């Protein structure tokens, strides 16, 4: 029996088809959805929340006295792309609810879609990869949950040629074998900081995007989470931060973070008028999200919920060529000529 989404969980209940929007006319077999085809294409033991190669036994329980923590890292993507082969990675098609083919059908990339079960897939133009994080928060129940991008990954040691291709960049992508010794020692993994040198996080956002996003976010914090204001002001004044919405967290911490994050972003979304925004500038919820991850982490450390030693910084890599000259020129034009970022 292939797994299905049952409300906000993964299950094998044949009676749950009607709850997923997958019901058929009375008396007929349930209609197959592309999500079903995805699940059916995987071995039955390869459950979303229980990876056999990470110590699972197909029941969600860990055999033996020293179980291996389970990990799922979603790889957010909007197109067909090469994916890491390690089973801890789960490709997720983000924005699936709004993408249509020429025939008006949802495109089938062969990946799990973020519009299954509880989701915010239709908000992808504003939330970017965070629609994938929301889906993972609602549906995955492994010990650790993480997020990376199809072309941006955490970096491992890259000492073996796993692909069999010399110089293959995907050989350098973090594997479970490399991550596993750090699980339990660390509760949160984040990418190495990006440094802006001549800009604070706040001034860079003001020059590149619309500063009302951060000003409104601060006002929301004052109303809903005033205890976070000192951490927010400190982080915005700094010249570096953990970016890209990339992270790996213990499940309990991720639940706390996402509860806080999406409460803020949903409120922000209701207060921002994007009618005159370009598509690029409309992605503001995702951008605010990557900044306030730093705020949330700062507050957790300040209050003792986390220790600095609980947070592990990992290097990251791009699997595509990056034109740093072009990016640098755009950065300087935003700084000195006040030209906001747009897709070039």
The least confident of 27-36, 87-96, 268-277, 306-315 is: 27-36
| pLDDT value of residue 276 | 92
User: Higher-confidence residue: 12 or 125?
Assistant: 125
- Report residue 44's pLDDT band, with 50, 70 and 90 as the boundaries: very low
Collapse the DSSP code of 199 into the 3-class scheme (helix H, G, I; strand E, B; otherwise coil) and give the result.
Answer: coil
- Report residue 53's pLDDT band, with 50, 70 and 90 as the boundaries: low
The CB density around residue 212, as the number of other CB atoms within 10 Å, is 15
- Report residue 127's pLDDT band, with 50, 70 and 90 as the boundaries: very high
CA-based nearest residue to 213, from 267, 140, 166: 267
Q: Is the CB of residue 188 less than 8 Å from the CB of residue 248? A: yes
The least confident of 61-70, 79-88, 133-142 is: 61-70
| pLDDT value of residue 291 | 98
- Report residue 12's pLDDT band, with 50, 70 and 90 as the boundaries: very low
| pLDDT value of residue 340 | 63
User: Higher-confidence residue: 330 or 260?
Assistant: 260
pLDDT digits 0-9 by tens, 192-251: 999 998 899 999 999 999 999 999 999 999 999 999 999 999 999 999 999 999 999 999
Collapse the DSSP code of 247 into the 3-class scheme (helix H, G, I; strand E, B; otherwise coil) and give the result.
Answer: strand
| pLDDT value of residue 4 | 41
Given a cut of 50, is residue 261 above it in pLDDT?
A: yes
Q: What is residue 186's DSSP assignment?
A: B
Helix 212-224 with 229-237: angle, nearest 10 deg: 160
| pLDDT value of residue 33 | 41
User: Higher-confidence residue: 165 or 157?
Assistant: 157
CA atoms within 13 A on the CB side of 71: 29
Between β-strands 247-250 and 188-191, what pairing exists: parallel, antiparallel or unpaired?
Answer: antiparallel
User: Quick one: what percent of the chain has pLDDT higher than 90?
Assistant: 66
Given a cut of 70, is residue 151 above it in pLDDT?
A: yes
Alpha helix stretches (DSSP H) within 200-314: 201-208, 212-224, 229-237, 251-271, 284-302
Given a cut of 50, is residue 115 above it in pLDDT?
A: yes
Q: What is residue 90's DSSP assignment?
A: E
| pLDDT value of residue 107 | 83
| Inter-CA distances, 194 with 94, 201, 240, 276, 342, Å | 25, 10, 5, 30, 20
Which residues, 6 or more positions from 155, have their beta carbon under 8 angstroms from its beta carbon?
Answer: 172, 173, 174, 314, 315, 316, 317
Considering the entire predicted model, what is its pTM?
A: 0.80
Given a cut of 60, is residue 31 above it in pLDDT?
A: no
| pLDDT value of residue 46 | 43
The CB density around residue 222, as the number of other CB atoms within 10 Å, is 12
Q: What is residue 181's DSSP assignment?
A: G
Q: How far apart are CA 267 and CA 250, in angstroms?
A: 26
Q: What is residue 310's DSSP assignment?
A: G
Tokens 């709004």: give the residue. 98
CA-based nearest residue to 251, from 67, 92, 71, 55: 71
Task: Take residue 158 and report the two structure tokens written for it.
Answer: 């890259």
- Report residue 105's pLDDT band, with 50, 70 and 90 as the boundaries: confident
| pLDDT value of residue 174 | 97
| pLDDT value of residue 157 | 87
What does 39-63 look like in DSSP terms, one character per residue? HHTS-TT-BTTB-GGGT--SSSPPP
| pLDDT value of residue 327 | 62
The CB density around residue 123, as the number of other CB atoms within 10 Å, is 20
Between β-strands 188-191 and 194-195, what pairing exists: parallel, antiparallel or unpaired?
Answer: unpaired
User: Higher-confidence residue: 33 or 281?
Assistant: 281
| pLDDT value of residue 60 | 42
| pLDDT value of residue 40 | 37
The average confidence (pLDDT) of the chain is 82
């Amino acid at each position: 029996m292939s797994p299905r989404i049952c409300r906000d969980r993964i299950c094998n209940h044949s009676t749950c088809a009607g709850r997923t929007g997958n019901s058929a006319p009375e008396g007929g077999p349930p209609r197959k959805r592309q999500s079903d085809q995805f699940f059916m294409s995987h071995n039955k033991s390869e459950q979303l929340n229980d990876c056999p190669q990470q110590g699972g036994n197909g029941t969600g329980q860990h055999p033996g006295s020293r179980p291996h923590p389970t990990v799922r890292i979603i790889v957010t993507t909007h197109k067909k792309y090469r994916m890491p082969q390690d089973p801890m990675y789960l490709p997720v098609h983000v924005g699936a609810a709004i993408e249509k083919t020429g025939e008006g059908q949802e495109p089938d990339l062969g990946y799990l879609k973020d519009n299954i079960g509880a989701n915010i897939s239709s908000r992808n133009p504003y939330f970017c990869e965070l629609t994938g994080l929301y889906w993972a928060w609602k549906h995955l129940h492994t010990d650790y949950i993480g997020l990376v991008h199809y072309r941006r990954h955490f970096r491992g040691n890259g000492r073996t040629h796993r692909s069999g291709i010399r110089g293959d960049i995907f050989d350098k992508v973090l594997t479970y074998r490399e991550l596993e010794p750090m699980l339990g020692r660390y509760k949160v993994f984040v990418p190495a900081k990006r440094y802006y040198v001549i800009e604070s996080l706040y001034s860079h956002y003001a020059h590149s995007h619309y500063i009302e996003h951060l000003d409104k976010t601060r006002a929301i914090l004052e109303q809903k989470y005033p205890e976070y204001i000192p951490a927010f002001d400190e982080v915005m004044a700094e010249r570096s931060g953990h970016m890209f919405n990339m992270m790996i967290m213990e499940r309990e911490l991720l639940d706390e973070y996402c509860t806080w994050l999406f409460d803020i972003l949903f409120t922000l979304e209701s207060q921002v008028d994007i009618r005159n925004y370009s598509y690029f500038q409309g992605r503001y919820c995702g951008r605010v999200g990557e900044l306030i991850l730093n705020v949330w982490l700062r507050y957790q450390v300040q209050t003792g919920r986390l220790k600095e030693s609980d947070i592990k910084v990992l290097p990251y890599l791009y699997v595509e060529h990056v034109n740093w000259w072009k990016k640098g020129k755009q950065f300087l034009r935003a700084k000195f000529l006040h030209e906001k970022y747009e897709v070039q």
